[in-house]
Amino acid sequence: MPEQTPAYRNPSLSVEERVADLLSQMTLEEKVGQLIMWDARPDDLSFINTRQPGSILHILGEKLDRAMDLATQNRLAIPLLVGEDAIHGHSFWKGANIFPTQLAMACSWNPNLLEQVGRVTAEEVVPTGIHWTFSPVLCLTRDLRWGRTGETFGEDPYLIGELGAALIRGYQGNGLDDLQGILATAKHYAGYSETQGGRDASEADISRRKLRSYFLPPFERAAKAGAMTFMTGYQSMEGVPSTANHWLLTEVLKDEWGFKGVLVTDWDNVGRLVKEQKVCANYMEAAVVAVRAGNDIMMTTPEFYEGAIEAVRSGRLAESEIDAPCARLLALKFRMGLFENPRRPDLERAAVEIGRADHRAANLDAARQSLVLLQNNGLLPLNPAGLKSIAVIGPNADDDLQQLGDWSLGAWQHPPEAGKHPREKTTTMLDGIRALAPDGLEVRYERGCSIVDDDLSGIPAAVAAAEASDVVVAVVGDHLKFIGETLSTATLELQGGQIALLDALAQTGKPMIVVLINSKPLVLPASAKNAAAIVELFNPGMEGGQALAEALFGLLNPSGKLTISIPVHVGQQPVFYSQVRGQHGNRYADLTQEPLFPFGHGLSYTEYAYSNLRLASSTLSSDKTAKVSVDVANVGEREGVEIVQVYVSDVVTSATWVNKALKGFARVHLAPGEKKTVHVELPWHAFEIVNAQGVNVVEPGEFEILVGPSSRDRDLLKTKLVVAG
């Protein structure tokens, strides 16, 4: 008789039936193996047969095909789930589109753009055989010295949630069976960004109330948006590492929010319980803690294998406690259809998808919408008719690696021998200006200085180029050596010789445009603050130079607005706009507490006027929606896009609360002289606070609705709303 096909191989059965059948046939070793994600960078892939991992990461191309072949040789032939850090594009695939970083794209305030970026990324990732990206980052930026600031969407929980949900929709598409979709990961759950002194992964001083107030809302939004994986943070809170936090991982995420996907630890988090945080004496103890807290996949802790098996054999863990996370992972694989179609790499198709013109166009669109005009005395846009020459000067003017930023080939995550993205794929600031400069306009270039050392020998040549030119474009910022995981900084000052360079350029008296290519807000010297214009691009991706040149020459009207405040001094930390009320005074004895440029700030080449703020009703009853309207007019001479921001302030609260919080926004396109009425609806939960008992409530009383072009009080129109008891 022919061998009978096992039930778990029958796609006509329910997922639950298939999981139950497969689990019933698995040994303890096979179950434990499924719970481990292995680092597949080494050439030796024998672990796929000796440990039978459920998932792997950091493996591309033909090597991935070999790994999938090895998985089919295992007794039950359970397919691999394959993850990769496709953070702002297919980061480590040579030539893939590298988009602006999250912090840059957030400045678009455009969920539709983020969804498109997620979709393009998925379309480039899928044919390379990857199923899963460890993105988006939903951390809430607090101390700007933190090295991972540029990976975030900024400082506001509501905006982070909206943009994160959009990116998740783009990645995952129509659901788990979408062959053009990849799994999204909401990370780092939760509170990882509340650092001490900006130091990465330090103990986070966060109570459960504080978590619910500010750090959890973006993650709850991600769960509701259908994110199928969450990733834990590195840090500990109230003495408990995130990976060991049953309340956070199980009671809140899985029980309260109903999360049905899988929870993966960050890199070797289970090992860190033993090696770094030292809350477990050995890997058996760590395995017990990690499983009981609610983790489903243990990333790159191979010692979990022996530890978990020993825990079950010794009676410390019941085998049923291994079954539960194993069942969650298997259910995900069945729902993705991996048993029928393991979604192998198709390198011929990858070459076509990654080279598509519409993907490149989406990248340029992202760079254009991410650009923020911080300051302008009228010099911009440049009038080429009055110019004979431009000096493009600075260490980041023609450095493609710094422009792409962290999480791209050439950054620290891969060794130098892995190479970098092809230089011709990136349009640097210098490339863009040269390409768009009108005939007859001379473009001079000097690097001027270094960011990573104090060599000032290039400054005289830079000054000579400036003196010989009509306008100076000074491109400064930070460097990969000073950003990213483990790479927090003690200062926010411009590093290396950059301050000396800017000071020398300012002394020439030539009009200067300061262009910032940086992963996070930096403190600017007086020579930069006094410049004719300041343009912020953060890390703008491969098309950043094209977007900048378009803005300089007036082909692009900037519309981006900051989602993170830029401080005057590093000592102002924290400088985010939504401060809790109640301090003595409103400034330092020696310095303002106001940022140099606030959350929501961004200029245009036209002017907008706000008027006639009103509510459909001045009272709001339980579970209803407040309808806000405001008139916005373009009173300038160019068409443009304005980002209208709606804030809520609860006038009197039972527990201390923030001065105001963003609760809605809208992008509005206006022709010169055009006026539109912008409508924004605020749902009932927009008026919640977290009370002293840690419960989300809407308290009756008076609220202020504030609407305008930035978070700064003087920019906002105000009206009253009464929430009925």
- Residue 20 near residue 323, CB atoms below 8 Å: no
| Spacing of C-alpha 46 from chain mean position | 35
Instruction: Give the CATH number for residue 144.
Output: 3.20.20.300
pLDDT band at 31 (very low <50, low <70, confident <90, very high): very high
Q: Which residue has the tokens 């809208």?
A: 666
**Do 405 and 491 belong together in one domain?**
yes
**Do 313 and 432 belong together in one domain?**
no
Indicate the DSSP class of residue 592.
B
For residue 442, what are the β-bridge partners? 389
Cα dihedral 375, 381, 384, 386 sign? negative
Q: How many CA atoms lie within 13 A of 546 on its CB side?
A: 17
Domain of residue 507, residue span = 370-560
Q: Which residue has the tokens 């006094």?
A: 530
- Of 521, 544, 560, the residue that ends a domain is 560
- Please compute the mean of the pLDDT values over residues 474-492 and round it to a whole number: 96
**Do 329 and 216 belong together in one domain?**
yes
Please indicate, yes or no, if residue 698 is contained in any of the structural domains. yes
Predicted pLDDT at 2? 53
Query: Which ranges of 337-398 does DSSP label H, i.e. alpha helix?
Result: 347-354, 357-370
**Do 174 and 315 belong together in one domain?**
yes
Q: For residue range 132-177, list pLDDT tens digits in order.
A: 999 999 999 999 999 999 999 999 999 999 999 999 999 999 999 9
- Mean per-residue pLDDT of the chain: 97
Instruction: Measure the CA–CA gap between 548 and 367, rounded to whole angstroms.
Output: 9
β-pairing, 701-708 vs 640-650, is antiparallel
Which amino acid is present at 110? Answer: N
Count of domains forming the chain: 3
Predicted pLDDT at 384? 87
Predicted pLDDT at 227? 98
pLDDT band at 1 (very low <50, low <70, confident <90, very high): very low
**Do 375 and 465 belong together in one domain?**
yes
**Do 312 and 390 belong together in one domain?**
no
- Of 325, 343, 361, the residue that ends a domain is 343
Q: For residue range 593-621, list pLDDT tens digits in order.
A: 999 999 999 999 999 999 999 999 999 99
Please indicate, yes or no, if residue 527 is contained in any of the structural domains. yes
End-to-end CA gap in the chain: 74
- Longest CA–CA span in the chain (Å) reads 92
- Residue 92 near residue 40, CB atoms below 8 Å: no
- Please compute the mean of the pLDDT values over residues 627-632 and round it to a whole number: 98
Instruction: Measure the CA–CA gap between 82 and 297, rounded to whole angstroms.
Output: 12
Please indicate, yes or no, if residue 389 is contained in any of the structural domains. yes
Instruction: Measure the CA–CA gap between 626 and 723, rounded to whole angstroms.
Output: 10
Which amino acid is present at 505? Answer: L
Q: What is the 3-state secondary structure (H, E, C) of 109-158?
A: CCHHHHHHHHHHHHHHHHHHCCCEECCCECCCCCCCCCCCHHHCCCCCHH
pTM above 0.85, yes or no: yes
**Do 659 and 536 belong together in one domain?**
no
Q: For residue range 491-524, list pLDDT tens digits in order.
A: 999 999 999 999 999 999 999 999 999 999 999 9
Orientation angle between helical segments 347-354 and 111-125, nearest 10 degrees? 150
Q: What is the 3-state secondary structure (H, E, C) of 168-221?
A: HHHHHCCCCCCCCCCECEEEEECCCCCCCCCCCCCCECCCHHHHHHHHCHHHHH
**Do 336 and 381 belong together in one domain?**
no
Instruction: Name which of 387, 373, 370, 498 is nearest 433 in CA terms.
Output: 387
β-pairing, 262-264 vs 298-299, is unpaired
**Do 615 and 515 belong together in one domain?**
no
**Do 136 and 230 belong together in one domain?**
yes
Q: For residue range 232-261, list pLDDT tens digits in order.
A: 999 999 999 999 999 999 999 999 999 999
Q: For residue range 252-293, list pLDDT tens digits in order.
A: 999 999 999 999 999 999 999 999 999 999 999 999 999 999
Q: Which residue has the tokens 């796609």?
A: 11
- Please compute the mean of the pLDDT values over residues 15-37 and round it to a whole number: 98
Instruction: Give the CATH number for residue 711.
Output: 2.60.40.10
Please indicate, yes or no, if residue 26 is contained in any of the structural domains. no
- Please compute the mean of the pLDDT values over residues 103-117 and round it to a whole number: 98
The DSSP-derived string for 6-66 is: PGGG-TTS-HHHHHHHHHHH--HHHHHHHTEEEE--SS--THHHHT--SEEES--THHHHH
Q: For residue range 637-659, list pLDDT tens digits in order.
A: 999 999 999 999 999 999 999 99
Q: For residue range 351-402, list pLDDT tens digits in order.
A: 999 989 999 999 999 999 999 999 999 999 999 888 999 999 999 999 999 9
Please indicate, yes or no, if residue 190 is contained in any of the structural domains. yes
Query: Residues near 91 by Cβ (< 8 Å), separated by ≥ 6?
Result: 84, 85, 98, 407, 408, 409, 413
In percent, the amount of the chain with pLDDT more than 90 equals: 97
Please indicate, yes or no, if residue 283 is contained in any of the structural domains. yes
Please indicate, yes or no, if residue 512 is contained in any of the structural domains. yes
Predicted pLDDT at 503? 98
CA dist list (Å): 543 to 99, 424, 559, 687, 720: 8, 11, 17, 40, 44
- Residue 399 near residue 429, CB atoms below 8 Å: no
Predicted pLDDT at 4? 84
**Do 492 and 615 belong together in one domain?**
no
Predicted pLDDT at 355? 84
Please indicate, yes or no, if residue 38 is contained in any of the structural domains. no
Orientation angle between helical segments 429-436 and 544-552, nearest 10 degrees? 50
Instruction: Give the CATH number for residue 417.
Output: 3.40.50.1700
- Of 529, 560, 591, the residue that ends a domain is 560
Instruction: Measure the CA–CA gap between 36 and 49, rounded to whole angstroms.
Output: 13
**Do 405 and 330 belong together in one domain?**
no
Q: Which residue has the tokens 């899985």?
A: 254
Predicted pLDDT at 666? 98
